[in-house]
Structure 1
Amino acid sequence: MHQNNQKKKQADKLLKMPGKLDRGPVDFKSRVVEYNGEIMAIATKNVITAHQTTPIIQAVETMTREGFRRLPITDAGSGKLRGIVTNSDIINFMGGGDKFNLVQVKHRGNFLAAINDTLREIMSPHLITLQDSAHIMDAVDAILHRNVSGVPIVDADGDLRGIVTERDVMKVLTTENASRTVEETMNASVRVARPDSPVGEVSRKMVKHQFRRLPVVSDDVLCGIITATDIMKYLGNGQVFEKLVTGDAAEVMALPVRSLMSGELHTTTPEKNIHDTAVEMLQHNIGAMPVIEDSHLVGLITEYDLVKAFLEE
């Protein structure tokens, strides 16, 4: 009972925060009246979905075009939520983990055949969801303690009503100031990749350690950052087909990651306030920032780190 009261008070605090970013001046209380639960006040409600029978390549193209990191999977007949596919599932399938078996075993290394197989083969069917009557703090708990970056919202019948992400929560939290610095919040033990590291090697490292991005470093100098979305776009924008000669998966995964890094690199510094860093991340629509001191990489700060830090303030 005490835990529920505490969760309710924290959710009330979030709802009372005035929106100052993308959403403009949002009256969260009026939003809550419109829906059953507080969670719907910050959730994305017009969610694009795919079906279990949708080809993998079609889903990846949709995610790339729309800029999504995840795509809920619904039943073609009933519309019920059946699972989710994320950019992490895609890089797992492309050579990073056990879902690569679809390519290597079922399709005997034929990547072209594998990407035309269905999402049923690689989606995550056991997903965490929240009811549309949930509190915002339920979403925060799922993000911080259940290792998910996005939570589908369903109604009592199991129909998809929306989705809430780390970024949605961070948008609300950054409407208040914070006292912590980046140095107090960042992860200082950072795994990195080299510019000439092949896509397959980087994908395996991401899947093994459950990372969604890796800084790219050469001779102790930060060159950029490679994300799961960058690797997914390699498939979604058709670039991968330029590398295919025989259709074998090895051709796809041999490309050095320097070819996939986006040109613009946004960084922060250890002494910077986390509020200012969070605002910059939202403005640039990025999920993490390398932390630089004296031209050297000293850490990485992510949306997850910021959500956790703001809640602890």
Structure 2
Amino acid sequence: MLSELKTYISKPVLVVRENDSLLRATREMRNHNIGALVVVNENEEVVGIITERDVVKAFADGNFDATVGDYMSREVKGVKIGTDIYTALKTMVDNGFRHLPVVEGDKVHGIVSIRDLVKALVDLDNLSNMRIEASDLNSCPVCGLEIDEFGYCGCGAGSD
């Protein structure tokens, strides 16, 4: 189903560890054209997220030798892989996030960005418009009833 988040998850899952250098994380983001990385511990459990904004803050502070753990966000809210697009978007808006890890149990399946969700909404809108256009061929725009061979429906509004 198009409204499921799993269609829009960025893969492969790219992760870093807290003790990795911020420079390494930055290179990973640049090399893969992404804006965030999931931070995991030695048990592969999500412990944070590091984003472009975190990197900018560190470099603005002049802290070029920082580790991921020095600047990552530790309060991470993830969503489950079966989450619908609306719920994921609401989670982002309510918490001021631009990226969300997508998890199932203890396993990270990917990450979804605000850009991914905007694309999903555009896709859903296009699908909805296609359905409306197809239904408009045979139904009245006022009442939705089928238009007869003379161009009129039960409400009398007609096809014009």
What TM-score, normalized by structure 2, do the two folds share?
0.70
Separation in 1 of the partners of 2:120 and 2:18? 31
Tell me if 1:266 matches 2:77: yes
- 2:29 corresponds, among 206, 223, 238, to 206
AA at the equivalent of 1:231? V
What displacement does 1:229 show?
0.3
Question: In the TM superposition, what whole-angstrom CA distance separates every residue of 1:132-175 from its partner, at most 9, and x where no partner exists?
Answer: xxxxxxxxxxxxxxxxxxxxxxxxxxxxxxxxxxxxxxxxxxxx
Unaligned runs of 5+ in 1: 1-177, 241-251
Separation in 2 of the partners of 1:179 and 1:260? 35
Relative to structure 1, the CA distance from residue 187 to residue 209 in structure 2 (aligned partners, 3 Å threshold; closer, same or farther) is closer
Tell me if 1:233 matches 2:44: no
AA at the equivalent of 2:80? T
SS in 1 for 2:69: helix
Matched residue count: 123
Unaligned runs of 5+ in 2: 125-160
Greater fraction helix: 1
Matches within 5 A, 1:182-193: 182-193=5-16
Contact 2:58 2:66 in 1 (8 A): no
Identity, % of aligned positions = 24
Separation in 2 of the partners of 1:187 and 1:209? 11
Q: Which residue of 1 aligns with 2:106?
A: 295
What displacement does 1:179 show?
5.8
Q: Which residue of 2 aligns with 1:197?
A: 20
SS in 1 for 2:79: coil
Tell me if 1:283 matches 2:94: yes
SS in 1 for 2:112: strand
What displacement does 1:185 show?
2.1
What displacement does 1:235 show?
3.5
What TM-score, normalized by structure 1, do the two folds share?
0.37
Q: Which residue of 2 aligns with 1:33?
A: none
Q: Which residue of 1 aligns with 2:4?
A: 181
Q: Which residue of 2 aligns with 1:221?
A: 45
Q: Which residue of 1 aligns with 2:138?
A: none
SS in 1 for 2:47: strand
Higher RCO (CA-CA < 8 Å; seq separation 6+):
2
Separation in 1 of the partners of 2:51 and 2:10? 17
Separation in 2 of the partners of 1:292 and 1:206? 20
SS in 1 for 2:38: strand
RMSD between superposed Cα atoms in Å: 1.8
